[in-house]
Chains A and B, each alone.
Chain A
Amino acid sequence: MVSKTEETQLNRLENQVDNGGGGAWEYLCLVRKLKVRRSEKVLKYGLSILNDPKKRSALGPEEWTLYEQLAIAAMDCQCLDVAKVIHKRRVAMAKAQGNISVAIEWLNKYLEIFMADHDAWRELADIYLSLQMYKQAAFCYEELLLSHPTVPLYHLTYADVLYTLGGLENLQTAKKYYASTIDLTGGKNTRALLGICLCTSAIARLSKGRSKEDKESPELQSLAAKVLEKEYKQRAADKLGLLTSALRSLKI
């Protein structure tokens, strides 16, 4: 509960800022302290500080607090675009300062609300990959594939992540996604074609000694190899020899 004096103080400050008398940051601090809800004013004054580089740097470490307060106010006012920008700046700052776990936490919070933001999913995936958290990165790509099922890059990278995770099931799924990448890109995507060959080879190695039903059909791999050889012959003939030996070493 806010006391009468506190409310008067708040209103006086609000008037002051409204009439160009400064004190925006003091106002924001008071709103936070009293835990009152004045989101429109908070948003207006907060953005004026944020958009002024001098005022922003004068905040020092308090900049974080401003972002948090603004983000909540923005969402309260249904200013989702502003909320998005603020969230993204927070994450960028956390990353720039090397605060990776904070960046992950905030990206996750952001995505709970703005789950359609594919740039954010990719950014989160990239962070997970840099920490070798492949399962979590795979999850991000699964979300991306759900909402954007025809973007070849997502199929390709998802396949790469699964291959890196390893294990028979992941390799078999990776192979499917390399195949869908090839489908979506007109059949000549070098990375996907090589991915098919890598998967087939790895699956064969893992399946040694298993029953015949688990054996992969070799057509897809030989088809991929043929396309690769043709492409290299036409466009990178000096590297054809290297490609051929690489494919040979994978067929085992």
Chain B
Amino acid sequence: MVAELKYEISQNAYIKLVLHALKHKTTAVNGILLGRVNPQNDSVVEITDSVPLFHSNLALLPSLEIALIMIEEHYGSKGLGIVGYFHANERFDDAELGIVAKNIGDHICRYFPQAAIFLLDNKKLEALPMGKDQSPVMQLYIRDASKNWKLAGPDGGSRLVIKEPAANAVLSDYISSEKWQDVVDFDDHLDDIKKDWLNPELFK
């Protein structure tokens, strides 16, 4: 039996995406997951970085196409590829994977067949400052044999992990200091090309 794939996201990639969602609380946002299959263990996909994409018109193709070309080009030269997609719904109590997210996820699977979708879990995010939970505030979705997106089962919690155990504590700190204001996404770049979607100074 083929071992089920595990997804391990780095602290910075993880925090960047959540901060992006917090920066744009009233709209849906999305992002791209970059990484590779772990060279020592091919049942683990490592997500080493992320790029926040858009906070408006997520369903329109032109900006998405340009973003994917540029992102692939940049990370390809570092030996990394697009391995997944992140999505945060507009409404707090909407925990469904919507049609736009699924379609973009399908498109990403053409780059990387085992691509996953991480969906922001608002309830978990809200509970963050109060608990000691080290698991990510995201839900993992993968495609089944019929190419339908399914929420990874009850043990899905252990299939999506953050590499650094203290990540949620760091995230909580950043939230208190309103660090989300510093996050730049691709939308910001297209509005003003001086803004860098690589966010090189974010965690310095």
Output the nearest chain A residue to B66 by Cβ-Cβ distance.
A194
Docked pose: A195 CA to B64 CA in angstroms: 11
Q: Determine how close the nearest CB of chain B comes to the CB of A242; give it in whole angstroms.
A: 5
Q: Determine how close the nearest CB of chain B comes to the CB of A172; give it in whole angstroms.
A: 15
Q: Is B182 an interface residue (CB 8 A)?
A: no
B59 pairs with A129, CB closer than 8 A: yes
Q: Is B2 an interface residue (CB 8 A)?
A: no
Q: Is A146 an interface residue (CB 8 A)?
A: no
Q: Is A236 an interface residue (CB 8 A)?
A: yes
Q: Is A245 an interface residue (CB 8 A)?
A: yes
Docked pose: A160 CA to B187 CA in angstroms: 14
Number of interface residues of A (CB under 8 A): 32
Asked, given contacts A98-B93, A190-B190, A242-B73, whether A163 binds B57 with beta carbons under 8 Å apart, the answer is no
B62 pairs with A198, CB closer than 8 A: yes
For chain B, give the interface size range.
20 to 34
Q: Determine how close the nearest CB of chain A comes to the CB of B32; give it in whole angstroms.
A: 14
Q: Determine how close the nearest CB of chain B comes to the CB of A104; give it in whole angstroms.
A: 15
Q: Determine how close the nearest CB of chain B comes to the CB of A196; give it in whole angstroms.
A: 10
Which chain B residues border A190 with CB–CB below 8 Å?
Answer: 190-191, 193
Asked, given contacts A195-B62, A198-B66, A242-B73, whether A96 binds B91 with beta carbons under 8 Å apart, the answer is yes
Contact of A246 among B58, B63, B69 (CB under 8 A): B69
B interface, CB within 8 angstroms of A: 28, 57-63, 65-66, 69-70, 73-74, 90-91, 93-94, 98-100, 103, 189-191, 193-194, 196
A interface, CB within 8 angstroms of B: 95-96, 98, 126, 129-132, 134, 157, 159-161, 163-164, 190-191, 194-195, 198, 231-232, 235-236, 238-239, 242-243, 245-246, 249-250
